[in-house]
Amino acid sequence: MASSAPARWRDNKRYLWPLSLVAPLSPFLGWGAVREFRLGLFWAAGAIVIGVLVPLVDLLTRADKTNPPEAMVEALENDRYYRYCVYAYLPLQYAGLVFACFLWVHAPMGIPERLALASTVGVVGGIGINAAHELGHKRTKLERRLSKIALAQTFYGHFYVEHNHGHHLRVATPEDPASARYGESYWFFLPRSVIGSLRSAWRIESGRLRRRGQRIIGRHNNILNAWALSVVLFTVLIAGFGWSIAPYLMVQAGLGFSLLEAANYLEHYGLLRARRPDGTYRKTSFRDSWNSDHVCSNLFLYQLQRHSDHHANPLRRYQTLRTSEVSPQLPAGYAVMFWCAFIPPLWRRVMDHRLLDYYDHDLTRINVKPRFARRLAA
């Protein structure tokens, strides 16, 4: 009886995963809505979908607490359908970017409308970093190359190095620039994470090349060749559509990586890995990331919100990630929590008591911002 149970199990979300492709289609959806309703607001279709519609669906649907049986994990991992759902994001991502460039030049719109369209493209690029995140953790050369391509739109190619070889080693510790600290606002965290992650990535990659006896400035440098893709992309777009699109390309790239950093901010806020008796950090566990099991936002983000299992098992594909009762839980999906993060007093009202309760108000177990720690001590 026990052996037949896995055979009866089905992924109820199997045919919902293509919903993730609504995001890269948003420039086209926005254009269609503007033509139909004559309302420039719809140029911000990407922000409307992610910031309004997804949270509403999350609110109206129950959280998904189901996990695939362990006996089904290998079959799910090998099912290429799930990979194609991620691969399909990239051609749509770049089709939307080229279409937006055409619209910035030829569509009758003012600067506010162009900026609204840039916000849509920025959302596409931000979720594109999430697609790159899913691909970059895999061992196949194809997926790793696709990861760099997905990052080109936001000029954030160093993420390819830092996330895998820096963040995953130091997550939920004060040494990790991408792990937010208790008492730290998103607006303080953003430049600290951007600059710190870039420095860390360069340190990691230059060290790797030195150990191999290869030149740091050369084609084998994974940061430089990822950035080269961005340079080529932006050069081709500007050559094709003119310099007038350059400011909007910069805006969308900034918005895209700012969304990634917003995700980083909420994923580990205040969490601190336990130490062994010798002072070294214990292996990353399900307790070291904030989780959310809200269905719609997880479909759009390739189940990124089951973040604890991702850090405990980085090579797991998104369709096999599990939820755990021991993981700290966010009160909403990422789309809602982003809005909270952008408003620091609201964030602290929503999250600080949850963090303190999770650690039984023991500040020694929390990753506290140093200046905030001194204030608490005083």
Q: How many CA atoms lie within 13 A of 189 on its CB side?
A: 30
Looking up tokens 């080269």, which residue turns up? 228
DSSP string, 180-240: --BT--HHHHHHHHHHHHHHHHHHHHHHHHHHTT--SSSTT-HHHHHHHHHHHHHHHHHHH
How far is Cα 363 from Cα 356, in angstroms, rounded to an integer? 8
With contact defined as beta carbons under 8 Å apart, do 291 and 63 qualify? Answer: no
User: What tokens appear for 194 in the block?
Assistant: 């951007």
| pTM to 2 decimal places | 0.94
How far is Cα 99 from Cα 43, in angstroms, rounded to an integer? 12
Per-residue model confidence as pLDDT tens for the chain (378 residues): 344 445 578 899 999 999 999 999 999 999 999 999 999 999 999 999 999 999 999 989 889 999 999 999 999 999 999 999 999 999 999 999 999 999 999 999 999 999 999 999 999 999 999 999 999 999 899 999 999 999 999 999 999 999 999 999 999 999 999 999 999 999 999 999 999 999 999 999 999 999 999 999 999 999 999 999 999 999 999 999 999 999 999 999 999 999 999 999 999 999 999 999 999 999 999 999 999 999 999 999 999 999 999 999 999 999 999 999 999 999 999 999 999 999 999 999 999 999 999 999 999 999 999 888 777 776
> Which of 366, 131, 368, 113 lies closest to 259 in space, CA to CA?
131
